Amino acid sequence: MSGVFDEDPADALAQGKGLMGGGLTTMLQEATVVVKAPVGTTLESIPEPRLPAGEGELSAQEKETLEACKAGMNNLHNAFWIAGKSLETMASGNLHRNEGYGNFAEFVWANWEISESQVYRLMDEWRIGEELNQLGHRPRESQIRQLTDIKRSAGDRAAVAVYDAVARSGERVTAKLLEQVARQLPPLTEELSPAQIGSMVRSVLTPPPASSGADEAQPGQGGRSGSDSAGVHTITSLGQDEDSPIGELGDTHGDSGVSSAVSADMERLQETLALVRQAAKGLSRPAVRRALEESPAAAVALLDAIATDLNKIGRAVAGRRPD
């Protein structure tokens, strides 16, 4: 669902307003004297979150802090991380206590029409947005939203590393692509370095080429689906073809060892093992639990289909083995 934070920050800068159309950015760049950015337009101009100075009227410093945070909120179209820090600073210091509202959520809704759930999401995401901005990126809030699970399990640094790796891959960064990458990554931990996470992201975006002339995977898809032109099946199609020789080793031997038919069958087994291992890495109990909570009916249908295919694989490999 789109919202005020999903506007492209580059759009506002590209329009150019004032001073021959150059806008504030041009004015600051071309000025011959040092110009201090207006309060609320940069992260540094928003005071750090802190506890209230008291219970009564706001102190002079608190009033200045409140005005800076309000200005930051008014710039939310350009930088959601500034809005997020503004919200946390106001909430932490109880700076709204003289504004005439029952609670912080009412205060924010009355002034900016931001729901309570979005308020907490912004306060949870602003540090990621700030760090990505320092790296030269201009992320949208809807994009950072797709990295929530990674942030919770591995911290802000891991979420930043995932976004940065996707951006540096040459792919156009979208919320959908980040969602696909996050879903296909193995579980991340705080111990992993950005370089390690970057390598994992690149393996998802550009998986190793399959053998036997298989079709190349499209960037961002993290693998193939269906069966390729050479007849090598993926995990979703194994056992669906009655003519599939998977698990059936022939007994035609030549002077050189095994026939080409047997070699093809061995290749199928190796391909199947690689796919099963890849699927096992990408699936975990927490992921299944979250899917069931989000879309119970759809998740159950998918789990049933997975179980059916795994049973087919089990029957195929349950044949008699050599003594």
Helices (H), 135-193: 141-144, 148-154, 156-168, 175-184
d(CA 203, CA 223): 10
d(CA 40, CA 86): 9
Per-residue pLDDT at 202: 93
Per-residue pLDDT at 113: 92
The structural domains of the chain, with segments of one domain joined by +, span 1-122, 135-205, 223-323
Per-residue pLDDT at 224: 37
Q: Are 133 and 127 in contact (CB under 8 A)?
A: no
Per-residue pLDDT at 163: 96
The SS3 of residue 227 is strand
Q: Are 230 and 213 in contact (CB under 8 A)?
A: yes
Structure tokens at 229: 């032109």
Structure tokens at 51: 């506890």
The pLDDT profile of the chain, 323 residues, written as one tens digit per residue, is 455 555 444 443 333 333 333 444 443 344 445 556 667 667 788 889 999 988 899 999 999 999 999 888 877 645 788 889 999 999 999 999 999 999 999 999 999 999 999 999 999 999 999 999 889 898 989 999 999 999 999 999 999 999 999 999 988 999 999 999 999 999 999 999 999 999 999 999 987 665 544 444 444 444 433 333 333 333 333 333 333 333 333 333 444 444 444 567 777 777 787 788 777 777 778 778 888 888 888 888 888 888 888 877 877 777 656 65
Per-residue pLDDT at 138: 84
- What end-to-end distance do the CA atoms of the chain give, in Å? 60
Per-residue pLDDT at 209: 64
The residue to which tokens 């640094």 are assigned: 157
d(CA 216, CA 194): 27
